[in-house]
Amino acid sequence: LLNHTSGIDGDIFLDTGRGDDCLEQYVDRLAEAAQVHPLGATWSYCNSGYSLLGRVVEQVTGMTWDRAIGERLFEPLCLEQTVTLPEESLLHRTAVGHLGTGPDLHPSPTWGLPRSVGPAGTITASAADVLAFARLHLTEGRGPDGQQLLSAPATAAMAAQEAELPDPYSLGDSWGLGWIRYGWGGRRVIGHDGNTIGQSAFLRLLPGSGLAVTLLTNGGHAQDLYQDLFREVFAELADVAMAVPLAPPEEALPVSLEPHLGIYERAGTRIEIAASDGQGTLRDVPTGTAAELFHGEPEEYPLRAVDASGDLFAVRPPGAKTWRPVVFYRLPGGERYVHFGGRATPLVEGATAPG
C-alpha cells in the first residue's frame, strides 16, 4: 500500500459522509473495487490505498485518522497551520484552488476532497509547516525539541527503493515507503507532489545537505513553475542539476502507433488512443465520481514519439511548456498497459485486448 503496488483501483473518490465512521464505510465499499493489475506486478499511484492505510491507523490507535495524525505528528512537530478538515482551514489564510488556465482561470466550485479520502489528500498546510515536516526526515526522525518521533532506521527505510516506475520521467525513477526518489546529477533526492482540485504542491529534500524546498500553488501551469524554480534553487544552493524534462525531438519521428491503438480504462478515466492520417492522438476522458469531483472535461492531445522504441510518447497541454510522458508497456503475463499521469491503465478494447 505504501509503495503503490497493491493493484487496487486507485482513484475511487467515494464520499461516505462527514461522520467519524467515514473511513470504515469507505473501506467496506472498497471491497467492490476492481484490481487494475496483479499484486506487485507494476506501479500505479493509488489514492484508494492510502485511505485504506488511514483506516489501519484508526484500528491501531483507536482514534479517527484526523485525530491520530494530529496527535502523533502535527502536535509534536508544532505544525500550527496544518489541518485536515475544511472547518479548521477557515481559521487560517487558506487559498482556494483555481481551474483552467490563462483567461479561463477561475476559482474551483469545490473546496476539496471528501473526508473519506482524507489520508490521500485533505491535509492543508502552510509552506513553513511543510518544511517543518521535511526537517523531520532530514534529522533522522527527530522533532524540533530533539524527541525521536520516528526511528532512524524507519526514516531511512521510507527513503529506500521499494519499486521501480514504468514511467521514470513524470515523477522520479523509483518509489520508497511514501517518498518519490529522484536521481538528479548523481545525487539522490526524495520528495512528493500533491494535486487536488485546482491545488498543486511540490516538496523536494536533499538528504545529507539539510536542504528542503517546497512550492504550494492554487492554479495555473504549476508544473512549469516548479521546473523553473526548483532547477534554479537546487543549482544555486546545492550545485545539483535537476533532471531535464522529457521532450520529443523537434522533427517528428516516423514511429507507428498501430500496436497501441485501443481503449484503456480504470476507475475515474478512459484513455482512447487513435490515429488518423498518420497522426496519433490521446483522448483522456474523466469518468464517474472523479469527473464530478474534479470538474473534468475530456481532453485530446496529439501524440509525439520521443524515441524510435515505439513505446515512448509525449503530449503537451495547450499553453504549457512541460511535456507529459506516455509509456506503453506489457506486464510479464503479456497484458498491455499505458502509463500516463502516474497511473497504470489496462487495455480493455483493441486488437490485443483480453477477452
Q: Determine the Cα angle at 140 with ends 59 and 150, to 5°.
A: 15
Long-range contacts, 277-281 (Cβ 8 Å, 24+): 279/303, 280/313
Element (H, E) at 184: strand 180-184
User: pTM value?
Assistant: 0.94
How large is the C-alpha radius of gyration of the chain? 20
| Calpha distance 52→84 (Å, rounded) | 17
The pLDDT score that the predictor gives to residue 70 is 97
| Calpha distance 333→22 (Å, rounded) | 37
Q: What string of pLDDT tens digits covers the 355 residues of the chain?
A: 999 999 999 999 999 999 999 999 999 999 999 999 999 999 999 999 999 999 999 999 999 999 999 999 999 999 999 999 999 999 999 999 999 888 899 999 999 999 999 999 999 999 999 999 999 999 999 999 999 999 999 999 999 999 999 999 999 999 999 999 999 999 999 999 999 999 999 999 999 999 999 999 999 999 999 999 999 999 999 999 999 999 999 999 999 999 999 999 999 999 999 999 889 999 999 998 888 888 778 999 999 999 999 999 999 999 999 999 999 999 999 999 999 999 999 999 986 666 5
The CATH number given to 22-238 is: 3.40.710.10
Strands, E, within the chain: which ranges? 82-83, 98-99, 106-107, 124-125, 163-164, 174-175, 180-184, 187-195, 200-206, 211-217, 262-266, 269-276, 279-286, 299-302, 304-305, 312-315, 324-330, 336-340, 343-349
* pLDDT tens digits, 69-101: 999 999 999 999 999 999 999 999 999 999 988
Q: Residue 87: CB partners within 8 Å, gap ≥ 6?
A: none
The pLDDT score that the predictor gives to residue 200 is 97
The closest alpha carbon to 112, from 123, 102, 100, belongs to 123
Which cell numbers hold the place of 253? 519521428
Query: What is the fold, at CATH topology level, of the domain defined by 258-349?
Result: Lipocalin (2.40.128)
The closest alpha carbon to 293, from 163, 193, 192, 195, belongs to 195
Domain ranges of the chain: 22-238, 258-349
Query: How does strand 269-276 pair with strand 262-266?
Result: antiparallel
